[in-house]
């Protein structure tokens, strides 16, 4: 019998809890951050506000690397298991209404995993573009991220994601380059020879571990500073 690491056990428990806490009838989980949003409704004058919109890779940055959000002044609006259509539906509530200076969008891996049903890469990109357009219409700077590598999903082993991840990343980068949007490449420094997430950076093949998040942090901080300087 294979031994399951404590990290994987805790990660699985956290994912299951996060997915089960979604209120019935609240498909995009608008209520998850409702109270937290009220608490920061008033922005401090002169401060810079950066929101991270995403799925479990965004949400789990905090438990995996507890000081990340407080040290960098970022706001966590990730929800485990979410797909881009769910994020798009809550984008106004969890991003626009908080009047951030910038938003970091890391999304797409759960679309490939078909967490909310089959969806094409073009439709995934379209949802990401819609979030970008909403942000721009509200004078919010945008940072787009590559999807991290994955060549298997432990919760859906029928799907082989490696090549779809590569294709989606090419589409996101091409859109970012064409529209002069800051882009973060998390894929290149974390991929292994099998087009998956190197075990050094992530234990379960999908989510970064604490070391992986520390690798990602300076890339994110640098990109955010660059985006905030753009006119």
- In the chain, what percentage of residues exceed pLDDT 70? 90
Q: Pick the residue with more confidence: 44 or 190?
A: 190
Model confidence at 22, in pLDDT bands (50, 70, 90)? Answer: low
Lowest mean pLDDT among 39-43, 179-183, 218-222: 39-43
Domain 31-39+47-229 grouped into CATH 3.40.50.1110: yes
Sketch the domain layout of the chain as residue ranges.
31-39+47-229
Q: Rounded distance, CA 98 to CA 101, Å? A: 9
């Amino acid at each position: 019998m294979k031994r399951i690491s404590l990290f994987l056990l805790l990660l699985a428990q956290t994912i299951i809890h996060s997915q089960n806490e979604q209120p019935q009838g609240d498909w995009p989980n608008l209520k998850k951050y409702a109270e937290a949003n009220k608490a920061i409704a008033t922005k401090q004058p002169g401060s810079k506000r950066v929101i991270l919109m995403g799925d479990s890779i965004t949400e789990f940055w905090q438990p995996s690397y507890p000081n990340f959000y407080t040290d960098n002044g970022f706001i966590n609006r990730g929800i485990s298991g979410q797909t881009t259509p769910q994020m798009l539906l809550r984008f106004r509530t969890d991003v626009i209404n908080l009047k951030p200076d910038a938003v970091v969008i890391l999304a797409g891996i759960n679309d490939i995993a078909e967490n909310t049903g089959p969806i094409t890469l073009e439709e995934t990109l379209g949802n990401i573009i819609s979030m970008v357009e909403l942000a721009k219409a509200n004078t919010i700077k945008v940072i787009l991220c590559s999807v991290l590598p994955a060549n298997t999903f432990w919760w859906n082993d029928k799907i082989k994601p490696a090549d779809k991840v590569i294709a989606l990343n090419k589409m996101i980068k091409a859109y970012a380059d064409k529209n002069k949007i800051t882009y973060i490449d998390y894929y290149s420094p974390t991929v292994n020879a099998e087009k998956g997430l190197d075990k050094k950076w992530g234990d379960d093949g999908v989510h970064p571990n604490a070391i992986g998040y520390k690798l990602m942090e300076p890339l994110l901080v640098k990109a955010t500073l660059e985006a905030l300087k753009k006119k």
